[in-house]
Structure 1
Amino acid sequence: MLPLYCRKRVLLLGDNLSRYLQHSSKHNVSTGNGCDQVSLLLRLCEERHFISPGAFHARTCVYGPLGSDLKKNILGQWWTASIRSRARVFGINTSVHTRTCEESVMIVNYRTVQENFQQDSLTREEALRLFFQNSMSLRSNLLQGALQQYIQALELVSRKLPFGLAEIGLCHQSTDQSFGHSPGCISEVTESSLVWFCSPRTSSQWIDYWARQRLQWWRKFALGPSDFSLCDVVEEDLKDGTLRGIKVLYKFPWGLETLETLWSLGNTELQKTYQGTHSKLECRDGRKVVVPHVISISGDMDKGMLAYLFNSLKQQKKTDSKQKQRTVLRLHPTLTPVKVALDMGRGSNSELRQVCEGLLEEFLEEGIPTWPGYLDTLPLSLENLHTKYDEMGVLFTVLVSETTLKNGLLLVRNRDTTVRETMHISEIKGFLLRYIYASENL
C-alpha cells in the first residue's frame, strides 16, 4: 500500500521552525530575537532528546524519549481535565477511517491506480470512479466520530441535556501554503476533541463557559500565562450553519497561532449525520423536548506542545558562575518529562553506583520519572552537569558522593531556584513525592 502522501509523521515542532526560519531569511529578520529563540529551542530539543537529531533537516521530525513523555503528560492532563474531573463527559474511541467527512484525506494503492488506467476497456471517467471506490479515507477531525456516537450516548444520560463526548486521536490534515509549504501537503496531527450537546437556549452561555475553561487550562501549566489569549472568529470565516467561533491563541515568536477552536454549530451537523426522522435525536431540556445544539472544541496538541516548549524556554542570569546566563527549560512540574536526575560526585565509582541504583529503584517504584545520569560514561564538571539537566527541564538533581557513603547526606539542587541543599538519603523520596503531589494540585 503506497499512500499519496508521505507516511512519516510530521512533528509541528520541526515543521513550524523550518517554515519560520525560511520566512525570516527571506525577509532579512534572521538576526532578530524571535529567530534567536527559535534556533536556541531547536538546538536544545535536538541535543536533549526531545526530537531525534538530524530529522529536522529532512523537514520531518520524530519525537525523542523526552518529547514523547512531554506529549504524553500534556495529553494525560487534558484527559483528566475533560473527563475524570467532570460529570456527564464520556470518553470515546472512534475509527481513523471515514466515509462521511468531506475534508477527509484519501490513500490509495498506487499499483491498483496504474492497473485501472491501463485497462483499455475502461474510459477515463470509469477508471476515476473505480479509483475512488477502491480508496480509503482518513479523518481530518474527530467531530464526525462523536456525532455518530450520539445516539448510543443518549442511553447513558437518560436523554437529558447537557452532556459531552471526548476523544484524543490522530487526524490527517492539509497544511497551508504559507512559509514555503507545498500545495496539498498532508500532516498527521494529534487532535483533542470535546463535543458538547446542550439546549438551544443555553448554547451561547455554554460556548462562553468552555472558552474560559480552555483558556484557564492552557494557562494553568504556563510559565508566561499572558502569552495565551482568546479571540472571536469573524463572521466572514464562519461556515454555513455555524453560529459562533472562538479561538485559543498562543503568541509564538513569528506571531499568533491557533491552538484550539470552539464552534457553536447549532444542530445542523447533527441532523446531517442522521438523515432519518429527527425524533430519535430529541432530548429533554427540563420539560421541553428539543434537538440539541452542538459545541465542538478541538485542539492541535502537537502545536500545544510546541507552545509550552517556547513558553518555558528561559535564559537567566547566573550568580554562581563565570558564565553570564544559563538556559533552562522551566516546564511545569506536572508536564516535565524527568522529575529527578541521579548522578555521582567524587568517590568510589562502584559503591556510589550501588547507592544510585538503590535510589533509582525506589523512585521508579513510586512512579517518579528519573534520569540515570550516573550511567553516563562521559564525565562532566558539576557546572556542565547542571547545564545539561536545566536544558532537559529536570526539576531536581540528586548528587551522590563520598559524603553519602560516610553519613548518608545527598546534595539536592532545585532547577528553578538553583539552590543546593543537603538532605539525608532517608528523606529524599518523601520530599520528592510531596513536591510532585503539591504541583499536581496547584
Structure 2
Amino acid sequence: MTTLHRTLRRLDSWLFAALAILAFAAAGYLATRYHHVADWTHDARASLSKESRAVLARLDGPVEITSYANPQGPLRQGIASFIARYQQTKPDISLRFVDPQLDPGAMREKGITVDGELVIRYHGREQHLDDLSSEAPLTNALERLARGGDRIVAFVTGDGERRADGQANADLGTFMHQLEGRGMRAVPLNFAQVTAVPEHTDLVVLASPSAPLPPGGVQALVNYVADGGNLLWLTDPQGPQPLGNDLGLQPLADALGVTVLPGTLSDPSGSALGLHDPHMIALGDYPAQAITRGFTLTTLFPEVAALAAHPGRDWSAVPFLRSNPQTRIDTGQPDLDSQPGRALDFGFALSRLSPSPAKREQRAAVVGDGDFLSNTYLGNGGNRALGERLFDWLLGDDALVNLPPRGAPDRFLQLSQGGLNAVTFGFLAGLPLALLLVGGLVVWRRRRY
C-alpha cells in the first residue's frame, strides 16, 4: 500500500467521523426544535384513548391544573408525566405545583385533603380530583367541565319502575353510579307528588313501569315530549296485549310514533353462544346509527319486546337494535306467534327539530328491554358501554359518545407446545450457534485477507 493510499484512507476515516459528528449534532438540534411521539402498542393503548381526545376537542379554551403535591418524593414527577399525555393533544393545558405544607390553613379552606390532589379550572368552573390511577377519572372530570355542569336525569318513580339508586337485581343503581362520575345526576320524578316535569330537566327516563301510571302522569310525559323534552323509554314484555295498552301508556306511544308489540322475542340460535334460554338475545352487529357507529362489542338482552315505528310523523325514527332473522315473537299463544325469517327491531332512536326555541334538536329513544342496564346484566359484554353511548346521544353530547373499552392483547403471548419448543430451541441452541457461525466467518475472512 503506497503512502498516497494510506493518506487517503486516513482522510476517509476522519471525514466519516466528522460527518457522523455533524449528523448527531443535527439530530440533537432538530430534537430540541421539534417534538414527535410514536406509539407502536396495539390500538395505541399507551396514548390517550379516542374518548379522551373527543373530550379534549370539546374544550375550546385553556385548562388550568393545579396540583397540591409535596415536593419530596416522586409524586410530582408522576403527575407531570400523566398530564403530559393530555398536553400532547391539547397544548394549552397548564400544570403548576403548590406545596400544601406552606399554608395548611389555606389548604383546608380549599378542601384539599389528599397529597397530590388536582384542582382543574375551565371557563370559571372547577373540579377536584384525587385519583390518577387511570385515564378515566381525569377524562370524566374534564367531561363534566365540558358539559358546563351536571345534567339532570329524572327517573319516573312510584309505579314499579327500576330505581336509579337501587341495589336490587332489576334496579339501575350500578349504572347510574358510574354515570354520576361523568356529570349526570339522577333525581326521582313521582307524578303522585308533581303534575309536570320540572324545568331544567335534561332527560326523563321511564324505566320499565310494572303498574299503570296515573292519567295525570301520562299526560305530563306527553306534554313534556310535546314541549321538546328528551326521553328514554325502557320497556319489557308484559303479556299478549301491547304494552302501551296494559300500562295506560298508549298516548305516549302515539306521541312518539312507536308501538310496543305484544310477546317476547325468541332466538334459538343463541344456543351456539352457550345461551340456554331462547329469550336471551345476543347482538354483535348493529344497524348504522350515531349510537352504534363503530360499536363492535357483544351485548346481551335477557327479555325483549319487539317495536314498530310508524312512518309519516315529524319524528325521524332510526333503529339501532335489531335481532337476527332467526328470531320470532313468542306470545304464549301458538296461533299468534310470528314465524322466523325476518329481523325484528327492538331499539329506536328518534329525533326531530325541537318545538322549544331554546333547543335545536329533540331526541328520544325506546328500547324493548330494560334488563340490559340492570345491576344483574350490566357487566355482560358491552351492555354498559352501549348504555353510556345511549345517554350521551340523548343528552346531545355526540362528541362524547363512548367508544368500546380498548383491550391490550399485546400483553400476552399464547403459544402452542410446538411453538414453545421452537422458541426454546431457538434461544438455547439456535441463537448461540448462529453467533458462533458469524464469528467464525469473520475470523476466516480476516485471516484470508
Using the size of structure 1 for normalisation, the TM-score is 0.22
- Which structure would you say has the larger Rg? 2
- Larger strand proportion, structure 1 or 2? 1
- Larger helix proportion, structure 1 or 2? 1
Using the size of structure 2 for normalisation, the TM-score is 0.22
